Amino acid sequence: MNDLIPLLPKLWQASYETLYIVGLSLIFGGLGGLILGLGLYTTRSNSLFSNRPVFGVLNVLVNVFRPIPFIIFLAAAQPLARFVTGTGIGNTAIIFTLSLAAAFGISRIVEQNLLTVQPGVIEAARSVGASRSRIMLTLLIPEALGPLILGYTFIVVALVDMSAVAGYVGGGGLGTFAIQYGYRQFHPVVTWAAVLVIIVIVQLVQFLGNYLARKALRR
């Protein structure tokens, strides 16, 4: 316990950095994933913008990038991160790479949840003369909102997990804290403290997600 007390300020700093990395990655990756997921959903056959070639390309793109283990993706995408953000290391680089990786994962979750919307509901909207883009924005997303919120909640938890390897490219956060001050210094209590904070974060996120989804689904 005595090992931990002097490190508490660093623990709070690391918690803040984790929230910062996860929060920004959720915004960028979430938006990218939503667009990519809408693309996958609307270009499949019998959908609003059915387009076989476009769907094929998107589908392969997602399938190629999604299964790459994140720690390898982080290394492999470093030149791209440097090109886009100007730096290959630190929190900025990890936010870029994490957003990119998350977008591919989120796109599948978005696609799956949009597929739960009854095709008849889309047909009804078309039958009253709604344009395809109006249906996509004003109907499709609201109809799937409950499951989408749960999907994004799932992704936040995954982002917390993935952000823990930020230390490999010089980023901060609870993963870096746990390895640097706990594991490498032979202070298991310090590691466990980081674990505890992560558990609290995940619980809060899941609670909030469940609450919002319940509200959206009215049950």
The yes or no reply on residue 143 touching other proteins (CB under 8 A) is yes
What phi, psi does 158 have (nearest 5°)?
-65, -35
Whichever of 56 and 142 has its CB closer to other proteins, that residue is 142
- The alpha carbon dihedral of 188, 176, 168, 97 has a sign of positive
| Cβ 51 to other proteins shortest distance, Å | 15
State the Cα–Cα distance between residues 219 and 152, nearest whole angstrom. 19
User: Helix, strand, or coil here: 116?
Assistant: coil
State the Cα–Cα distance between residues 35 and 89, nearest whole angstrom. 27
State the Cα–Cα distance between residues 8 and 22, nearest whole angstrom. 21
State the Cα–Cα distance between residues 176 and 182, nearest whole angstrom. 9
Binders in 76-135 for other proteins, by CB under 8 A: 118, 120-121, 123-131, 134
| Cβ 52 to other proteins shortest distance, Å | 12
Minimal CA–CA distance to 107: which of 42, 156, 35? 35
Task: Tell me how many residues contact other proteins (CB under 8 A).
Answer: 18
The yes or no reply on residue 56 touching other proteins (CB under 8 A) is no
The yes or no reply on residue 145 touching other proteins (CB under 8 A) is yes
Whichever of 2 and 127 has its CB closer to other proteins, that residue is 127
Kindly list the distances between the CA atom of residue 139 and the CA atoms of 170, 212, 215, in Å, as whole numbers in the listed order: 43, 18, 17
| Cβ 118 to other proteins shortest distance, Å | 7
Q: Widest CA span of the chain, in angstroms?
A: 70
The yes or no reply on residue 2 touching other proteins (CB under 8 A) is no
Whichever of 68 and 130 has its CB closer to other proteins, that residue is 130
Whichever of 142 and 188 has its CB closer to other proteins, that residue is 142
The yes or no reply on residue 46 touching other proteins (CB under 8 A) is no
Whichever of 31 and 121 has its CB closer to other proteins, that residue is 121
The yes or no reply on residue 142 touching other proteins (CB under 8 A) is yes
Residues forming the site for other proteins (CB under 8 A): 118, 120-121, 123-131, 134, 139, 142-143, 145, 218
